[in-house]
Structure 1
Amino acid sequence: MTQIENVIEELRELDKKHFFHPTSAIQQQQEQGAAFVFTEGKGIHLYDITGKKVIDGMSSLWNVNIGHGREELGKVAMDQMSKLAFSSSFATFSNEPAIRLAAKLAQIAPGNLSATFFTSGGSEANDTAYKLARHYWLLKGQPERKKIISRTKSYHGVSMGATSATGLKAFRDFTTSLAPDFLYVDNRSPESLRSLIEAEGPETIAAFIAEPVQGAGGVHVVPDNYFQEIRQICDDYDILFITDEVITGFGRTGKYFAMEHYGVAPDMMCFAKGVTSGYAQLGGVMVSERIYKDFTTLSRGTLLHGYTYSGHPMACAVALKNLEIIEQEHLIGNAAKRGEELLAGLEEIQKERNIISKVKGLGLMCGIEIAKDRKLNEVFEIPLSPSIVAEAAKRGLICRSVVLDGQDIVVFAPPLTITKEEIINMIQILNESIGVVEAAVSKNLLPNT
């Protein structure tokens, strides 16, 4: 073997032996090793150790909004680490990047969200939102308000509270002893929320949380007026309305934040991912001016919640530069325009391919649902989206399969820097990949397990 082949083999064996992968098929990893060992990223592309070039059609984990290989962020990180790599934000200590970022977020956030509690990522942001909501009602003299309501097909993270709030049953079945007082309602019906509130008693409900567009659950876009009705229901029963913009924030849907599409402002908002485009670990919860005022006037003693890396100077400096790039390069407008082109391209594929039953999306967050009731697909008891994703990867496109809770969906979320030509290339690869799977289905060649 050549030297590079030896290195590749060594890394794959070390990966199998020592790297416990998140959200992965452990048995498959042990049998086949890493599908890709990435070494470089540039724009919308990733390169693996063999030299293979692929389109990152998922922005890795919905988060590399400004694309890969942005040296500006590396320079900002180095400069900040050279001056002040880390300092605590506990006990009223502070640092300039965290202060500047909190002020910037207050400027761009919907409604009157005005204060930010920083975390290291989205799961922590969601757990923080639930704890703050419950603590808020303690301060207000209503300790019985502790139940958190979320939606079916929702995804809010994998820490204990975030897992408990996640509406995808498979994530909850993964563990035992889920956190108590989490409830779920239909993801498209405001009336189901009202009914559950009435059944449980409004005086027991702390908050309702929703993704503006459900991401990991399959890119589900709400019906018209859904969030207007949700906002009214929360107001009617004095329940906090929390939005989870971890995936949808910072331009992903063609607006700075997805709730801007609906003209509705939440009481609290979780964010992460696109705030740094994945170049540093950062998340947070924003609260409205009214709620923050209640916290500051009603609190006594120490707020006993915080993370070591809350307000991390380097991460906050990277976030500030990231937001500057998003604005200067007009990436939010590009996401809106390219998203329309991606959706149109998927609709053209749907006309040609029998196995697609639905195309959906908002901005650069799209998905295709695989038909279950068409004759072509009835032969197979297995979902087809994993085969489509595998064929696309062979041809140089990374996308994602969603097979949870009986769904069969392929989803896409490329970097906001993507061009029209690159959208066309994505569509061509996807169409070819679906064609291969469709042909295999017609010949009964796909495995049944």
Structure 2
Amino acid sequence: MVTEQPGNPLWHPFADMGAVDGDRMVITRGEGSYVWDDQGTRYFDATASLWYANFGHGREEITQAVSEQLRKLDSYNLFGYYANEPALRLAERVSALAPTPGSKVFFGSGGADVIDTAAKVARAHFFHTGRPEKVHLIGRTQGYHGTHGFGTAVGGIAANAVGFGPLPGPVSHVPYDSAEELEAEIVGVGADKVAAFFCEPVIGAGGVLLPPDGYIEAVAEICRRHDVLFVADCVIAGFGRLGTWFGIDRWPVQPDMITVAKGITGGTIPLGALIVAPRVAEPFFTGKPGAPILRHGATYAGHPVACAAGNATLDLYERDGLIPRGRELEKPLADALAGLAGHPLVGEVRAGLGFLAAVDLAPEVFAANAGAVGLWQRAAREEGLLMRPLAKGLAMSPPLIAGDTELDLLATGLPRSLDRLAKTLA
């Protein structure tokens, strides 16, 4: 058991440290769809940690792959002409799964890394094809693309950009659910100035917002017509969350770039990958003397141990048939949550596309208590459910190995947590 001491110097992301200090929840172990705290209490990990533990926790296959790689080659960089076997193999496998044959794969340490890479690659592509003025980036309201420089700027959650001064630009945002507004923005800025449009297939941290019917196909066509690169941010959507390898491949589109992370190792070791269509990467792969070099990269890009974990993860997905689970479980999850729509504290339930969902509290709940989401998260924890707080409610994205038992926990535990919340607010 870990004894928590007030004043511990650990600084948590996205946390009110005054409230956290002395009130940390220390997770000590995980197995399958469950984790345990330092008091020995078991919880259903209903968000797969931070949207990433797609095959659950404690998989011996990953431990073995990492251990073997550490003994063989613990680390080495990919800069210049260096390479390592796990990175080469993982790049080949990811490229072979991509919607566009012949795609290139650029590794980073996580999703935010490869979002920034995508922004720079988009601009560099146009620079080296004679259109250096195409630098403008477009994001969507409520979009989330990590917290690095470009990701913060392109992201559409306004609170995440407050207090940091000037961010990379030029950047603009369009409503998340309107293809027409995207085209109007491209025309207004000037297609000759716009480099890329960033789009999550299903918006995750911004509220689990599902795209309207036909939206993905429409924005892909608009980008193609105006020669704007379509960047599909599949950091959350990928590796089975929507029932396909990358999430975006659930629609008949071919993005110019795809960002993935999280599920590529099931969160066991930080790793991200940018998948780049051949036409975008072509200026850097001519093989001609003096060809441009992408002067960008992370120290741990293609780390052999992380890539060994990635290869073992892909093996797990294939062996256990986990990738289709996101589609197979989307209706059972929606059914498990359907009863919540009638609860007096609930404003909206969003589910039905992939194995993720969100439940918003009603506006009058916030009028009564601005901290209602945090109180509800704590009430859910008391019911044995670990949930992800959003601006208006709670999100869930369980491990793909979850089944009827875990869905029953949500169907019974969430109403009880709302009843607990009602008593707190009374």
Q: TM-score, normalised by structure 2?
A: 0.95
1:291 is aligned with what amino acid? Answer: V
**Residue of structure 2 aligned with 1:136, choices 121, 125, 130:** 125
Query: Aligned partners of 1:238 and 1:84: how far apart in 2?
Result: 43
2:389 is aligned with what amino acid? Answer: S
Query: Aligned partners of 1:20 and 1:29: how far apart in 2?
Result: 9
**Residue of structure 1 aligned with 2:383, choices 384, 389, 395:** 395
- Rate the CA distance shift 1:263–1:281 in 2: closer, same or farther, 3 A: same
Query: Aligned partners of 1:106 and 1:410: how far apart in 2?
Result: 35
The 8 Å contact of residues 156 and 173 in structure 2, kept in 1 or not, is answered as yes
Deviation, structure 1 residue 332 = 2.1
Q: Which residue of 2 aligns with 1:341?
A: 332
Q: Which moved more, 1:429-438 or 1:65-74?
A: 429-438
Where structure 2 has 5 or more consecutive residues not aligned to the other structure, the ranges are none
The 8 Å contact of residues 110 and 270 in structure 2, kept in 1 or not, is answered as yes
Q: Which residue of 1 aligns with 2:147?
A: 158
Q: Which residue of 1 aligns with 2:234?
A: 245
Query: Aligned partners of 2:379 and 2:23: how far apart in 1?
Result: 18
Q: Deviations over 1:180-234 (max 9, x none)?
A: 2111001000111111111111111000011010000010000000011101111
- Secondary structure of the residue that 1:243 maps to in structure 2? strand
- Rate the CA distance shift 1:58–1:417 in 2: closer, same or farther, 3 A: same
Residue 183 (str. 1) matches residue 172 (str. 2):
yes
Query: Aligned partners of 2:370 and 2:77: how far apart in 1?
Result: 50
Deviation, structure 1 residue 355 = 2.3
Query: Aligned partners of 1:109 and 1:138: how far apart in 2?
Result: 25
1:389 is aligned with what amino acid? Answer: Q
The 8 Å contact of residues 269 and 286 in structure 1, kept in 2 or not, is answered as yes
Query: Aligned partners of 2:265 and 2:61: how far apart in 1?
Result: 12
Q: TM-score, normalised by structure 1?
A: 0.91
How large is the Cα RMSD of the aligned pairs? 1.6
Query: Aligned partners of 2:180 and 2:207: how far apart in 1?
Result: 22
- Rate the CA distance shift 1:12–1:71 in 2: closer, same or farther, 3 A: farther
Query: Aligned partners of 1:117 and 1:378: how far apart in 2?
Result: 43
Query: Aligned partners of 2:174 and 2:282: how far apart in 1?
Result: 31
The 8 Å contact of residues 12 and 33 in structure 1, kept in 2 or not, is answered as no
The 8 Å contact of residues 33 and 45 in structure 2, kept in 1 or not, is answered as yes
The 8 Å contact of residues 345 and 424 in structure 1, kept in 2 or not, is answered as yes
Query: Aligned partners of 2:251 and 2:316: how far apart in 1?
Result: 25
**Residue of structure 2 aligned with 1:28, choices 14, 19, 27:** 19
Deviation, structure 1 residue 440 = 4.3
**1:247-396 equivalences in 2 (<5 Å):** 247-297=236-286, 300-351=291-342, 353-361=343-351, 362-372=353-363, 377=365, 380=368, 382=370, 384-396=372-384
The 8 Å contact of residues 284 and 294 in structure 2, kept in 1 or not, is answered as no
- Rate the CA distance shift 1:379–1:242 in 2: closer, same or farther, 3 A: closer
Query: Aligned partners of 1:63 and 1:113: how far apart in 2?
Result: 27
- Rate the CA distance shift 1:234–1:59 in 2: closer, same or farther, 3 A: same
Query: Aligned partners of 2:138 and 2:309: how far apart in 1?
Result: 34
Greater helix fraction, Structure 1 or Structure 2: 1
Query: Aligned partners of 1:248 and 1:211: how far apart in 2?
Result: 8
Deviation, structure 1 residue 113 = 6.1
Query: Aligned partners of 2:10 and 2:268: how far apart in 1?
Result: 21
Q: Which residue of 2 aligns with 1:436?
A: 420
Q: Deviations over 1:330-381 (max 9, x none)?
A: 1123332223211111112223x122232213221111122226xxx48515
Residue 77 (str. 1) matches residue 66 (str. 2):
yes
- Rate the CA distance shift 1:63–1:370 in 2: closer, same or farther, 3 A: same
Query: Aligned partners of 2:395 and 2:194: how far apart in 1?
Result: 33
- Secondary structure of the residue that 2:295 maps to in structure 1? coil
- Rate the CA distance shift 1:113–1:50 in 2: closer, same or farther, 3 A: farther
Q: Which residue of 2 aligns with 1:122?
A: 111
Query: Aligned partners of 1:285 and 1:410: how far apart in 2?
Result: 29
Query: Aligned partners of 1:251 and 1:113: how far apart in 2?
Result: 22
2:141 is aligned with what amino acid? Answer: T
**Residue of structure 2 aligned with 1:58, choices 17, 40, 47:** 47
**Residue of structure 1 aligned with 2:404, choices 400, 420, 424:** 420
Query: Aligned partners of 1:271 and 1:17: how far apart in 2?
Result: 33
Query: Aligned partners of 1:328 and 1:301: how far apart in 2?
Result: 40
Query: Aligned partners of 1:289 and 1:136: how far apart in 2?
Result: 11
- Rate the CA distance shift 1:364–1:12 in 2: closer, same or farther, 3 A: farther
Query: Aligned partners of 2:422 and 2:23: how far apart in 1?
Result: 27
The 8 Å contact of residues 337 and 410 in structure 2, kept in 1 or not, is answered as no
- Rate the CA distance shift 1:369–1:250 in 2: closer, same or farther, 3 A: same
2:26 is aligned with what amino acid? Answer: V
- Secondary structure of the residue that 1:220 maps to in structure 2? coil
- Rate the CA distance shift 1:122–1:37 in 2: closer, same or farther, 3 A: same
Q: Which moved more, 1:166-175 or 1:353-362?
A: 353-362
Q: Matched residues, percent identical?
A: 33
- Rate the CA distance shift 1:46–1:133 in 2: closer, same or farther, 3 A: same
**Residue of structure 1 aligned with 2:393, choices 390, 409, 416:** 409
